[in-house]
Amino acid sequence: MDAVNPATNERIDTYEDDSPAAVEQALADAADAFESWRGVPLRERQELLASAGEVLRDRTRELATVMTREMGKPITQAESEVEKCAWVCDHYAEFADSYLASDHHPSPPEATVKTRYDPLGPVLAVMPWNYPFWQVFRFAAPSLTAGNVGLLKHASNVPGCAKAIEDVFREAGYPEGAFQSLLIPSDLVDDVLEDERVRAATLTGSGPAGRAVASTAGENLKKTVLELGGSDPFVVLDDADIDAAAETGAWARNMNGGQSCIAAKRFIVHDAVYDEFLDAFLEEVESLAVGDPMDETTEVGPQASQSLLEDLHEQVEASVDAGATVLAGGEPLDGEGAFYPPTVLTDVPEGCPADAEELFGPVASVFRVESEDAAVEKANDTRFGLGASVWTEDRDRGERVASRIDAGCTYVNQLTKSDPRVPFGGVKDSGYGRELSAAGIHEFVNRKTVWIE
């Protein structure tokens, strides 16, 4: 696997794929580790997770630099990602014991009946490149603390991140085999998932990848959690704080180079404030600093690879050919690196890529609607259902509109985000299952009823 710096398109390192023998050894080690790890007292597992958080904080700049060099995330955003991983470790180090406490049920006087939350075994995690640390830790922190062991198949363009994450757990004191990275191509995922020693799988990624994992897991009767793509609506109603909506919206679309499943992608704006919002939004978008991701003043770095940039630009060109208007950006930047500028499209025709597909880069589609009902209809006019954001000065109205939008999480007067304290996940083509909070740690456990007479 070649690690390529997208800011320069230069190869920075090469990693050898794991051999079939190495994969077999990893599976055997995971199975062996689970038998002892499941018996480690929960309090000790929580203490180890707290240690992992400390390792992350001690190595923040180093780990952030690995991210930035491999996938182009601006260094300040990469540091924030490492800190967020430490936060999720802190969260489960504090709350896992309460999340996993047995639930007691009504029973006859002579009996005690409860539900225990026991681990399942080795869990395969197929993870993406866009948040190469956070996506892994939001799975690993709860799952390992519940007593499972982890096998990470990371995206092939971030092998250094995969190895660094494995090192974090090792340095924190986790036993051998508790968390391992497999450097394998995607076409070997089925073989690993079909192995009887692997008991469940989680995937964050594209719809086709999710369907493939779900199909294989289903054939083998294994639990899955899928967090797939999104085309999140950002609804601006006629009573919104326009300056706040424009400022937050520009950031919600463009942070991490726009490469986020929960980025605001479709801006659905009430006619009464459309022109005002568009002017303010354009000003915010055009003020974002694009450049070297190692420069701490950079806000938008490169796309994660040249091929991803080319795919994005094809979607923009197809949308323009269909009738969309480019008000900002719209062309790759000259020079080295996979740089695409923050882009704003209006007059977006129904069914073109900017309307119907997920644009995984810094391209905002802006739509004009005539009413609240039309805004909700447009927000739901998508096969995706991950996140949404609603902007209004009336909190009751915001909650009412949020309840009508088909999404796994909807924020009022805030950008869509993931937070260790609350469940996260989608509906429709955005997947199923939940991560984070109590819901996340309960995904990969055996909810075992125990009746004691």
* Bridge partners, residue 12, by sequence: none
Write down the catalytic residue from 85, 89, 261, 409: 261
Strands 343-346 and 363-369: parallel
Instruction: Spell out the SS3 assignment of 27-86.
Output: HHHHHHHHHHHCCCCHHHHHHHHHHHHHHHHHCHHHHHHHHHHHHCCCHHHHHHHHHHHH
Nearest to 197 by CA among 108, 113, 102, 122: 122
Strands 10-14 and 2-5: antiparallel
Write down the catalytic residue from 227, 358, 372, 443: 227
Percent of the chain that is helix, strand, coil (3-state, to 5) = 45, 20, 35
Element at 103 (helix H, strand E): strand 103-105
Amino acid at residue number 259? Q
Is 399 an active-site residue? Answer: no
| Ordered DSSP codes for 320-382 | HHHT-EEEE--SPPSSSS-----EEEESPPTTSHHHHS---SSEEEEEEESSHHHHHHHHT-S
Rounded to whole angstroms, how far apart are CA atoms 452 and 449?
A: 10
Nearest to 296 by CA among 77, 76, 80, 78: 76
Rounded to whole angstroms, how far apart are CA atoms 390 and 238?
A: 11
Is 261 an active-site residue? Answer: yes
CB-CB neighbours of 270 under 10 Å: 22
For the annotated catalytic residues, the residue numbers are 227, 261
